[in-house]
Amino acid sequence: MNKPAQSQHSSNCNTTPIVLTIAGSDSGGGAGIQADIKAISATGGYACSVITALTAQNTLGVTDIFPVSPDFIEAQLDAVFSDLNVKAVKIGMLSDAGVIEAVARKLRQYQPEHIVLDPVMVATSGDLLLETKAITTLKSELLPLATLITPNLPEAIALTRSDNHAAPVPSVDSSDRETIIAQLQSLNTEAVLLKGGHWETESQSTDYLLTKSDTVTFSAQRIQTQNTHGTGCTLSAAIASYLAQGYTLTGAVAEAKNYLTLALKFADQLKIGQGHGPVHHFHAFQPQSGDLA
């Protein structure tokens, strides 16, 4: 069954909606932990963080990565969970199998209500960012714990191939999309949000929320802007924020999709760096100029 999304929300106003982001740091501020904290804050959550890696990064690219040890990642997780009532967790960049195992071990120990996994696996160039062993570990250790995983098309292909390798993105008019959807629905995880941003020939950007028995679509006008850095981080963090506030999964995805669309719509009001700048996380809190209707 394929049906359009409807926003759904149940009140959770008696508790502070605390959201933990587990991800790498982006020194340029557009993606990673920095984007997550902005998105969570802008959508009504309280953000706390566990840093898995430091990157030397700006709008032009990544020049260096300094990984954080699994032991220290576990120490950060213990510090957060032993004190804060975390309602939802967003997971981004995890550098290797050891880090993935450490995060999974602590999540099984503390059992947060919602886990949103953004499987950062494939670079814009198409190169895999994780070794095959790490992808296998991600699939076996974290996918079963996740409320939702949010792959883009190259990541979805890597997750569904038996050899864990990326593959060319299929054309929009081929039958490959339905094949990928069926394969994603067979993964050992609760739900998958297949992001459609890589099918750039379409005027609409359509994402597919997949459960074992259902498909819900979320469509929005495709925004033409160079400021797209951190879109995946922003969307997954916003979903976690809305889940922490009591939204249903469908409602959280719908609200987050709308938030990201507006953040892209107003992104050109930001003049950040010389390359691909960030989306406008705080567009709702700043005066807007020009006719953007």
Examine the residue annotation and report whether 231 is marked as an active-site residue of this protein.
yes
Q: Spell out the CATH class of 14-285.
A: alpha beta
DSSP lists the bridge partners of residue 3 as 216
Are the CB atoms for 229 and 276 separated by under 8 Å? yes
Catalytic hit among 228, 234, 250, 261: 228
Examine the residue annotation and report whether 87 is marked as an active-site residue of this protein.
no
User: Which pLDDT band, with edges at 50, 70 and 90, does 291 fall under?
Assistant: very low
Number of H helices, E strands in the chain: 8, 10
Residue 131 has pLDDT above 50, yes or no: yes
Candidates 154, 98, 94; CA nearest to 123 is 154
Domain limits of the chain? Answer: 14-285
The model carries a pTM of: 0.90
Tell me, what's the pLDDT at 243? 98
DSSP lists the bridge partners of residue 65 as 55
Catalytic hit among 52, 233, 234, 257: 233
Catalytic hit among 29, 232, 246, 251: 232
Residue 3 has pLDDT above 80, yes or no: no
User: Which pLDDT band, with edges at 50, 70 and 90, does 125 fall under?
Assistant: very low
DSSP states of 186-221: TSSSS-EEE--TT-TTSSEEEEEEE-SS-EEEEEEE
Examine the residue annotation and report whether 13 is marked as an active-site residue of this protein.
no
Examine the residue annotation and report whether 273 is marked as an active-site residue of this protein.
no
3-state secondary structure of 148: strand
